């Protein structure tokens, strides 16, 4: 049998070693061709008496498979949408069959009469782990990572994952893993009984064959008479305790916004009431159902397709050679600068960390020491790795040390004069051609570039706090920034494993402009007399991870006041809402409520272990509405619409030129309701005409800040979408 993606070797004992090693791919993925070959191999082995058992492994170093191929997923969505316009019933029937193909191939393997062992040599995700679960034995290398992360991109494990996991592990642990899309270490997978053994990498194949030699049964436990579920029947005393709690927790965590997560609960509950073949059919029906939802289409596009494209450099100028970055400078060893130094050193770069004196620079380096010490304690890094990271950071007050840096990132206090002073000092010692980047959250990059002798080499790189955890960076083009600076900045961001979005210069860039709309809408609601608890809960029910008042406390209420004052100074009093300014001035100047940092803001922060609670004094600031008179669903809409409208405005103004970046930026930077696929996908998902009409209705009730822009009205009239009108183009591929 000849295959393109698998090699087959049968030994003297009749054990077939199947090695998955796709040519011209750095990682194995599931394509239609791969499934065709796997299907044919199962038939061949089943009909060959000489084959006594099968071992499946990967030829890729450190990786079994990353899951489904992007092109296959996009093709399935596109074909369904195209056929649906012609014959919806036929389109749904075809989607149902395609949705179940992988599941039934695995079921064929499981019932073929031949024992299969999966030898997991590294990363094994999605459909690959479902393949392993269908095998009769599973062993993994100690470094292997495995999981079913589909729920994170709007789907769920639709090739048997929702049925085999709760037949191997207890129901509560299975649901937790499935609903979180959790990545498991080999040891945790074994503890959950999802794999049988953890063995050294070099012994994987030999140990797999030993399992076959020991007489591994080709019949799975659930195909044997008398099989009992690990947690007992659904209709039992244990089930009566578990399932009501599952339903409650699901709604608390998701607000029922995620069809994929809802389907997981349905599949596990309904499937455990049935024999495995019927259960798999239930899973197939739910999978086909979820594939038809707007949420799945938007989340797959943004959090799978677009995210990978941006991480691979979709916006990087293709005609500029990659930069071999070796040394970066970071000026300002405060919390942000120390974080930038840490992620740079952890990525293998040499770092020159500069501050006003040695003590301040050393304090910044100590931040990296603390973070690495924590990783070592958690077993996520070795002592030698920690020492290596610290050795790559040179802390000094001497600007001359920056002379070898390929890129210098300025991360000093958010003050234009201070930044200008530092910029001049750095420029005096930088080597020819080196790039200067400013980490600022509010000051226009074009203004800051005036202090640098060659604005073509000046760019903004806006990190988010805390730097080691937040995956997004905004790369900001000033008016005179040249493509070379952009290329170097994107190369740096890729090295430190962050996701970049490229935006043109404006006050607040992209993320902070949308953030301010979120906070401003909460201010409006407070002034209207909406109870603070309803404001926070409406935001969470809309899909936001943190309520706007709690978020404002985290970023500091007095910072909001400073931003308002700076805006008035630069753009005039008409640039801000006077009622908002009055509210914040009262909070800061009259009440000394600065946010979490001084223990009181919109919330009170008592000493631990007591939990924070909303400040009761908020009720006295404005006459309160009765909760029963307030449209809770409309509060949710207001939060999402005001941010999405601002995102649309940034595209209209040319601040953002690629809708993918608005979507990814809104989710990674703000946590904007991930089930929507991001702010622009939120608009496209309901349709621009529907969104525009919603804006007009909200504007009539709550003011002109909801009024649709001229671009939205034009697009609504033409029934255009943002992804249609502003179709993304990968610069690197253009």
Res. 733 pLDDT band, cuts 50 70 90: very low
Mean pLDDT of the residues in the chain: 94
Mean pLDDT of the 356-381 span = 94
- At 68 the pLDDT is 84
Identify which of 340, 447, 342, 326 has the alpha carbon closest to the alpha carbon of residue 390. Answer: 342
Please report the sign of the dihedral spanned by the C-alpha atoms of residue 517, residue 520, residue 526, residue 529.
Answer: negative
First CA to last CA distance, the chain: 40
Judging by DSSP bridges, how do beta strands 435-438 and 407-410 pair with one another? parallel
pLDDT digits (tens, 9 = 90+) for 535-589: 999 999 999 999 999 999 998 999 899 889 988 988 899 989 999 999 999 999 9
> pTM (2 decimals)?
0.91
Identify which of 147, 146, 42, 161 has the alpha carbon closest to the alpha carbon of residue 103. Answer: 161
Mean pLDDT of the 192-201 span = 96
Q: Is the pLDDT of residue 697 over 60?
A: yes
- At 24 the pLDDT is 85
Judging by DSSP bridges, how do beta strands 197-198 and 472-477 pair with one another? unpaired
Chain centroid to CA 132: how far?
25
CA distance 30 to 138: 19
CA distance 281 to 269: 14
Residues in the chain: 734
Q: Is 408 helix (H, G, I), strand (E, B) or coil?
A: strand
CA distance 242 to 235: 10
Mean pLDDT of the 320-340 span = 95
Res. 120 pLDDT band, cuts 50 70 90: very high
- Are 62 and 123 contacting, i.e. CB atoms less than 8 angstroms apart? yes
Q: Is the pLDDT of residue 734 over 60?
A: no
- At 566 the pLDDT is 84
pLDDT digits (tens, 9 = 90+) for 442-475: 889 999 999 999 999 999 999 998 999 999 999 9
- At 731 the pLDDT is 57
> Which two structure tokens, joined as six digits, stand for 240?
């009566």
Burial (CB count <10 Å: 0-12, 13-18, 19+), residue 357: exposed
Residue with tokens 């769920």: 156
Catalytic residue among 136, 367, 462, 580: 462
> Which two structure tokens, joined as six digits, stand for 471?
């995956």
Residue with tokens 């000046």: 458
**500 phi, psi to nearest 5 deg:** -95, 145
pLDDT digits (tens, 9 = 90+) for 238-288: 999 999 999 888 988 899 999 999 999 999 999 999 999 999 999 999 999
462 a catalytic residue: yes
pLDDT digits (tens, 9 = 90+) for 167-176: 999 999 999 9
By mean pLDDT, which of 359-368, 494-503, 563-572 is the weakest? Answer: 563-572
- At 237 the pLDDT is 92
Res. 732 pLDDT band, cuts 50 70 90: low
Give the CA-trace dihedral at 662, 664, 665, 669, to 10 degrees. Answer: 150
CA distance 307 to 515: 21
Q: DSSP string of 78-137?
A: HHHHHHHTT-HHHHHHHHHHHHHHHHHHHHHHHTSSS-EEEEE-SEEETHHHHHHHHSSE
**642 phi, psi to nearest 5 deg:** -65, -35
Contacting residues for 620 by C-beta, under 8 A, at least 6 apart: none
- At 186 the pLDDT is 96
By mean pLDDT, which of 46-55, 300-309, 352-361, 708-717 is the weakest? Answer: 300-309
- Are 680 and 644 contacting, i.e. CB atoms less than 8 angstroms apart? yes
């Amino acid at each position: 049998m000849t295959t393109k993606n698998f090699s087959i070797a049968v030994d003297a004992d009749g054990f077939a070693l199947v090695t998955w090693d796709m040519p011209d791919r750095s990682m194995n993925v599931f394509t239609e061709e791969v499934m065709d070959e796997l299907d044919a191999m199962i038939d061949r082995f089943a009909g060959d008496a000489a084959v006594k058992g099968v071992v499946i492994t990967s030829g890729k170093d450190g990786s079994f498979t990353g899951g489904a191929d992007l092109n296959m997923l996009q093709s399935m969505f596109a074909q369904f949408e195209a056929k649906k316009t012609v014959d919806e019933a036929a389109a749904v029937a075809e989607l149902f069959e395609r949705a179940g193909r992988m599941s039934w191939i695995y079921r064929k393997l499981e019932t073929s009469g031949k024992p299969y062992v999966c030898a997991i040599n590294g990363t094994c995700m999605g459909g690959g782990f479902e393949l392993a679960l269908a095998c009769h034995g599973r062993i993994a290398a100690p470094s292997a990572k495995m999981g079913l992360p589909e729920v994170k991109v709007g789907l769920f494990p639709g090739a048997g994952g929702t049925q085999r996991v709760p037949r191997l592990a207890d129901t509560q642990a299975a649901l937790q893993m499935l609903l979180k899309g959790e990545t498991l270490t080999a040891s945790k997978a074994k503890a959950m009984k999802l794999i049988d053994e953890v063995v050294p990498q070099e012994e994987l194949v030999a140990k797999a064959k030993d399992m076959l030699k020991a007489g591994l049964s080709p019949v799975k436990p659930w195909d044997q008479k008398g099989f009992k579920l690990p947690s007992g029947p659904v209709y039992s005393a244990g089930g009566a305790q578990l399932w009501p709690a599952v339903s409650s927790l699901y709604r608390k965590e998701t607000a029922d916004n995620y069809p994929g997560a809802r389907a997981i609960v349905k599949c596990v509950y309904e499937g455990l009431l049935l024999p495995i073949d019927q259960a798999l059919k239930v899973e197939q029906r739910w999978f086909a159902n979820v594939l038809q939802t707007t949420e799945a289409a938007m989340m797959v596009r943004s959090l799978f397709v677009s995210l990978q494209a941006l991480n691979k450099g979709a916006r990087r100028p293709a005609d500029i050679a990659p930069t071999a970055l070796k040394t970066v400078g970071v000026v300002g060893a405060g919390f942000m600068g120390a974080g930038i130094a840490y992620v740079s050193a952890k990525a293998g770069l040499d770092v020159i960390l500069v501050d006003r004196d040695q003590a301040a620079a050393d304090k910044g380096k100590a931040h990296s020491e603390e973070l690495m010490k924590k990783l070592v304690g958690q077993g996520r890094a070795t002592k030698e790795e920690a020492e290596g990271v610290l050795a790559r950071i040179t802390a000094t007050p001497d600007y001359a040390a920056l002379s070898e840096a390929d890129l210098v990132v300025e991360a000093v206090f958010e003050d234009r004069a201070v930044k200008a002073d530092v910029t001049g000092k750095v420029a005096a010692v930088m080597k020819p051609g080196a790039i200067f980047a400013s980490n600022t959250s509010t000051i226009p990059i074009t203004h800051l570039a005036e202090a640098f002798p060659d604005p073509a080499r000046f760019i903004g790189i806006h990190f988010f706090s805390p730097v080691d955890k937040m995956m997004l960076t905004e790369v900001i083009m000033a008016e005179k920034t040249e493509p070379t600076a952009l290329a170097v900045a994107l190369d740096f961001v890729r090295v430190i494993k962050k996701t970049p979005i490229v935006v043109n210069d404006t006050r607040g860039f992209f993320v902070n402009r949308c953030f301010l709309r979120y906070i401003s809408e909460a201010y409006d609601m407070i002034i209207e007399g909406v109870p603070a608890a309803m404001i926070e809960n409406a935001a969470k029910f809309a899909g936001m991870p943190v309520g706007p008042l709690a978020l404002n406390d985290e970023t500091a209420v007095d910072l909001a006041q400073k931003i308002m004052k700076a805006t008035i100074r630069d753009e005039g009093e008409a640039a801000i809402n006077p009622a908002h300014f009055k509210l914040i001035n009262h909070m800061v100047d009259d009440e000394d409520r600065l946010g979490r940092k001084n223990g009181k803001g919109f919330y009170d922060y008592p000493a631990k272990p007591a939990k924070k609670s909303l400040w009761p004094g908020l009720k006295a600031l404005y006459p309160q509405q009765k909760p029963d008179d307030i449209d809770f669903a409309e509060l949710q809409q207001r939060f999402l619409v005001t941010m999405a409208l601002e995102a649309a405005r940034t595209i209209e103004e040319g601040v953002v030129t690629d809708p993918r970046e608005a979507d990814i930026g809104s989710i990674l930077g703000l946590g904007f309701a991930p089930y929507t696929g991001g702010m622009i996908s939120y608009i496209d998902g309901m349709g621009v005409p529907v969104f525009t009409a919603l804006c007009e209705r909200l504007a009539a009730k709550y003011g002109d800040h909801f009024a649709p822009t001229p671009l939205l009205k034009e697009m609504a009239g033409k029934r255009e979408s943002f992804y249609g009108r502003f179709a993304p183009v990968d610069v690197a591929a253009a």
